[in-house]
Amino acid sequence: MQHPYMRRVGLFLFCLLAFVSITASAGSYTLANDTKVEGDPISITENGVVFQLADGTDLARIPFDKLTQDSLRALLARATTAREKEFLEPFIEELPQERAQRKEIIVKPIQIPDRPTTHLGMTAIFASPVGLTILLILYGANLFAAYEVAIYRRQPLPTVCGLAAVPLLGVLSPIIFLAMPTRTEAIEGQEEPQTRFRVTPPPASDTEVLPEEGAGAGSGERPSLTAQGTGAARQPAGPLAQNPAPVLPEPIVFRRGDFSFNRRFFETKLAGFFRVVPSEAEKDMVIHIKSGRGDFTGRRITRITPAELYLQVFHDNATADEMIPFVEVLEVQIRHKDLE
């Protein structure tokens, strides 16, 4: 039979354990107005939470916005279902994460180099090899420019290049002579601009031009030219002339100074050379133009503008349009294609 004392000790221990379990299940939750609630959450819905106090009394449902963030986190930790966690999570504010500390940037002082105190100004270019090389290149380029200007403007080479060789002031020599007009007369011992294109004469035909009656070798008459400067070639007649050489007409020459070379001049004096198919008067004639860039020989003027003309020239059995400015034209000749 159990002793009555032992029965009392067991009942006391049971009551103590019940009290500890009830106290442990209850929690402390703080409201937004600093009011504390001691109890156990028994119902968590979307409208709030219901607390049961230690004496078994149920409080009215408290909305989530009435609880502090610490209380909401405590409720989230005690939530037993996923549904309860879904109701609590939207009301919990995320704590700002601590910003990562930036690496300290150490600014080192910049040591400024000392400024040079000697060889300043224009004389400094002579103190370095690079500067001397640049000066020599510019000096040689100035001499070459003077040489080209002397050839282009037909000026004396020793004069133009000699002035260009003078240091510092020589750069003005090519500019001054380039601004001067081109000389018409050739300079003895100096290279002349070469002809860039020359007409390739077609093969001679078997048809010979018969001499007119009364125009014998001793008559003293010269072949007459038409208004365009062309005419039929005459041949001397005689009983001993078996293979007479044709007499070519003299070329018609227009020189600068006597004529103004412009668009009106070419449209009036050389009107027949604008046709695609030449007439009888111009079919054996060519245009020979002397300019500052060289001599050009062609059969037709393909295009003309207020400042220049385009002459159809022949080169290696092919045609090309050569642009010739009026300001560069020195002399214009209308001559026979076989006349060199």
**∠ CA 190-195-201, rounded to 5°:** 145
Write down the pLDDT at residue 222: 42
pLDDT tens digits, residue range 280-304?
888 889 999 999 888 999 989 999 9
Upper half-sphere CA count for residue 286 (Cβ side, 13 Å): 23
Calculate the average pLDDT of the chain.
76
> Confidence class of residue 3 from pLDDT cuts 50, 70 and 90?
low
Could you list the beta-strand ranges (E) of the chain.
27-30, 36-45, 48-53, 252-255, 285-291, 294-304, 308-315, 318-325, 329-336
In sequence order, what are the residues at sequence separation of 6 or more whose Cβ sits closer than 8 angstroms to the Cβ of residue 211?
234, 235, 236, 237
pLDDT tens digits, one per residue of 146-157 = 998 888 888 888
Rank 87-101, 235-249, 320-334 by mean pLDDT and report only the highest: 320-334
Query: How sure is the predictor about 63, in pLDDT bands with cuts at 50, 70 and 90?
Result: confident
The whole-number average pLDDT for the span 139-151 is: 90
- Residues 229/334, Cβ–Cβ less than 8 Å: yes
- Max intra-chain CA distance, the chain: 187
Question: pLDDT grade, residue 84 (50/70/90)?
Answer: confident
Residue 225 has pLDDT above 70, yes or no: no
**Mean pLDDT value across residues 3-31:** 62
Q: What angle do CA 256, 340, 262 make, to 5 degrees?
A: 25
339 versus 191: which is more confidently predicted?
Answer: 339
> Whose CA is closest to 27, among 39, 43, 44?
39
* CA–CA gap between residue 287 and residue 296 (Å, rounded): 8
Q: Which two tokens stand for residue 335?
A: 């001559």
Domains of the chain: 23-91 (2.30.30.700), 124-179 (no CATH), 252-336 (2.30.30)
Note whether 265 and 259 are within 8 A (CB): yes
Residue 260: exposure state from Cβ atoms within 10 A (0-12, 13-18, ≥19): exposed
C-alpha 230/C-alpha 210 separation (Å) is 17
The phi and psi torsions of 334 (rounded to 5 degrees) equal -110, 110
Residue 81 has pLDDT above 50, yes or no: yes
pLDDT at 114: 81
More confident: 17 or 230: 17
* pLDDT tens track for 228-269: 444 444 444 444 445 566 778 888 999 988 898 999 999 998
Strands (E), 180-291: 252-255, 285-291
Residues 333, 340: Cα–Cα separation, whole Å = 12
* Strands across the sheet containing 329-336: 252-255, 329-336, 285-291, 294-304, 308-315, 318-325
Rounded to the nearest angstrom, the gap between the alpha carbon of residue 201 and the centroid of all alpha carbons in its chain is 45
Three-state DSSP state, 5? helix
